[in-house]
Amino acid sequence: MSKTRPLILASASPRRKELLELVGLKFRVDAGEYEEDLALKLSPPVLAKHLSREKALSVSQRYRDALIIAADTFIVFRSALLGKPHTTAEAVRMLTLLNGRPHTVFTGYTVLDVKTGKHRSRSVETTVWFKKLSPAEIHAYARTGEPLDKAGAYAIQGLGSLIVKKIDGDYFNVIGLPLTSLAETLKQFGIRILA
């Protein structure tokens, strides 16, 4: 692993921070100010990569020689993109929409070498099926506050685990960072987590 160059996580997500800590990476957090725009007319995989790249580029302006990891996660349900609810009412609406049905979680991530400009962007998708919930269960979960500021209004690693019936794909992608894919990409930048 690089000893002199800083590794920067360009994300304010505590979940992404925890995942990088889980695999033993040493890094700093610098979330930047980039505001993602889910209304851009791009396919979900392309949009996910685009948003992560823009986040990385935004933060890169503050560094001369660093590796930056940026990511963006959103939900696609019947071709509609769902971001993060900011109110309990929005959370209830999203959870009701997804209730008993499958949806796809897209996470785009970018690794950017500020010094050379080399970058790699990837998009990973995971299908998630919710179990059938009663209106009372939806409201009870929404009132916990956990769904707020989470893509799709749930946290699979928290109480949201009780509403997920099954997944097809990378579990960590649903949390917000596909670790296996990211580890392979980091090798291209000289960082080996399992050295």
- Check: CB of residue 123 under 8 Å from CB of residue 51: no
Q: Supply the Cα-derived Rg of the chain in whole angstroms.
A: 17
Residue 37 bears catalytic tag: no
The H or E element spanning position 99 is: none
At 77, list the tokens: 């349900």
Given the residues 37, 65, 72, 113, the one annotated as active site: 72
End-to-end Cα distance, the chain = 8
Residues ≥6 apart with Cβ < 8 Å to 73:
48, 105, 106, 107, 108, 151, 173, 176
Query: Which of 50, 111, 38, 114 minimizes the C-alpha distance to 76?
Result: 38
Within 13 Å, how many C-alpha atoms sit on residue 10's CB side? 32
| Catalytic site positions | 72
